[in-house]
Amino acid sequence: MRVYFGAIAEGGVSVSLSRDGRVLSCVEGGGTDDLLALLERALKSAKSDTSVIRELAVDRGPGGFSNVRRRVAVATALARSLGADIAAVGEMKPEEAAAIPSSSFAPRGTVAPIYAGEPNITISKKKKTWIAR
């Protein structure tokens, strides 16, 4: 089974499951939604579990820092913990992700995120501590 973590409009995220080029389930959430909870909902909808995940595709951007970082980190950690292959892709529909050739996936692969801009992290003038803006 293949999992795709993708971006949707207005900073949202989608998690889709596919097998043999056919989308089995797709759930969407807000940008701050827990990706693993969305994956759990998608697996429940497809009447499956994590033991059958063999490939993960992740939209690596460009996009907002937090959203891209969250997708890439969760996909990479999940792929390594499950021993699944991973592929870094651009924004695509779940049907397109289902059609990615298996040769595009790599075991213990790395995903280089693409951010829309540099993160804006500065030191607070009042508290003398680092804050993100």
What does the pLDDT read at residue 116? 86
Confidence of residue 129 (pLDDT cuts 50, 70, 90): low
Q: Evaluate the CA torsion angle 64, 67, 68, 69 in order and state its sign.
A: positive
pLDDT at residue 133 greater than cutoff 60:
no
What does the pLDDT read at residue 61? 92
Q: Which residue has the higher pLDDT, 127 or 7?
A: 7
Mean pLDDT for 92-105 is 95
Instruction: Give me Rg for the CA atoms of the chain.
Output: 16
Predicted TM-score (pTM) of the model is 0.85
Mean pLDDT for 99-108 is 94
Q: What percent of the chain has pLDDT over 70?
A: 89
Mean pLDDT for 98-117 is 92
pLDDT tens digit sequence for 23-61: 999 999 987 788 999 999 999 999 999 999 999 999 999
Cβ-based neighbours of 83, under 8 Å, separated by 6 or more = 107
Distance between CA atoms of residues 21 and 4, nearest Å: 12
What does the pLDDT read at residue 108? 87
